[in-house]
Chains A and B, each alone.
Chain A
Amino acid sequence: YPKRLNKGDVDKEIAKAFQYGIYLSQFGYLPASARNPSNGGLLQEETWTKAIQDFQGFAGINVTGELDEETMELMSLPRCGVKDKVG
């Protein structure tokens, strides 16, 4: 764990990153090629931001590129399992 953050807070942030990352990937906002091999498989920040922006645009909410309250609330709604972005 990082030295300067509360463990509970860190747990929550990590869980959030996984949860919403999986969501964006599942519904077509994060392509499979998003991983940056040079960083050992981590997402590039702009890819992550764009994915959130795309979702926000599709859902008709403020396009901030951030996982704000409104965005997370929408992602928590029950929904259809089909991708939003279909090739």
Chain B
Amino acid sequence: FGTDSRSKRYALQGSRWKVKALTYRIAKYPKRLNKGDVDKEIAKAFSVWSEYTDLTFTPKRTNPVHIEIRFEENEHGDGDPFDGPGGTLAHAYFPVYGGDAHFDDAEYWTIGSTRGTNLFQVAAHEFGHSLGLSHSDVRSALMAPFYRGYDPHFRLDSDDVQGIQALYGRKTSSGATTPTKTTPRTSVNTVNNELCKDAKIDAIFSSADGMTYAFKGDMYYRLTENAVAEGYPKRISEGWPGLPGNIDAAFTYKNGKTYFFQGSKYWRYNGRQVDGDYPKPISEGFTGIPDNIDAALVWGGNGKIYFYKGTRFWRFDPLKRPPVKSTYPKPISNWEGVPNNIDGALQYTNGYTYFFKDNKYYRFNDRTFSVDAADPPFPRPTAHWWFGC
């Protein structure tokens, strides 16, 4: 959710359905509308969201269903009473709270009329909440909170499409598709370098001055927007005097210092200069973190340091005592779509988090907390997308 008042956009509540085939049931109908008409309008309201994603919505007559729909008045059992005509028209619960949608039956619900309150438009909005969208500050978006009257030419705004696709990905079956905002890293020139033969890396990190480096063996590569910079690879010992090869992991923390890990030891650098008496034992500087880690990164979601090893990960907070809570380690599977035994991890300048394993990489969406749904899908070949091969 952008905090810059100049950039308006959708907001994700933070939860979503893990399945795409959803069911619903109209448990209580409005008093003044024909049931068949209501069934059609509700189905149409759901189809607004399935048009741009692989979500499907199937009505059922009996429970259990994912989304229950009810038309109620005043207090109706959820502690969030309706208020008679006008004011609040409806509300819905985010997926983590059940996804149900309630409509105020004191409203004069209508279908295809300028009178009363249009059922289809309000229902489509509420189902956006049922799917995990919060309110948007884009005035023209369906997910804007205000009802501004019947629109006979209603269409989803691009902001709504971006929001729902951020949660559930683009539609993969035939139908409307919307290109994603993210520009893929494409190679312009074919480059022959060692990484083209074997794109598996030891570590990858961004330096304090915004450069991105990949480490492999005794060598390091500076990466440009879409390839390896000219003049690389170079020896790690030349770039960071005192640092050995075969680094396990590296990251630059918000203090501007870069930390390198190998075996049971770690080094701290200020730019290209070692910053004190290093190496030191990991057990001393990073209590609670094991030796021989696979990867590490400072995650943009919360600014904490994450270490990955095998099938597990640890969260390290330098400001807390102890810096690693007793609830760690946790399974890497918590990071939906990220594999075990990764080689490298990187919080990149575009705001996405990337994980590297063997010759492939995964782009992680910090908002949906899962590997991004994209075309082509992840994992993608690192050599082509990162190293310009």
Contact = CB atoms under 8 A, between A and B. Distances in A.
Interface of A: 27, 57-60, 63, 74, 77-84, 86
Interface of B: 5, 8, 11, 13-14, 80, 82, 86-92, 107, 117, 122, 125-126, 129, 134-135, 137, 139, 145-148
Contacts of A63: 5
Contacts of A78: 86-89, 107, 117, 146-147
Contacts of B117: 78
A50 to B, nearest CB: 14
Contacts of B126: 80
A80 B41 CA distance: 18
Interface core residue of B135, B146, B148 (most chain A CB under 10 Å): B135
Given A86-B11, A86-B13, A80 B5 contact: no
B8 A60 contact: yes
B80 A59 contact: no
B346 to A, nearest CB: 29
A10 B9 CA distance: 40
A84 B89 contact: no
Interface core residue of A63, A74, A78, A86 (most chain B CB under 10 Å): A78
Nearest to A26: B88
B134 A79 contact: no
B146 A79 contact: yes
Contacts of A77: 146-148
Contacts of B145: 27, 79-80, 82, 84
A72 B117 CA distance: 21
Given A57-B5, A60-B8, A60-B139, A82 B134 contact: yes
A82 B146 contact: no
B146 A74 contact: yes
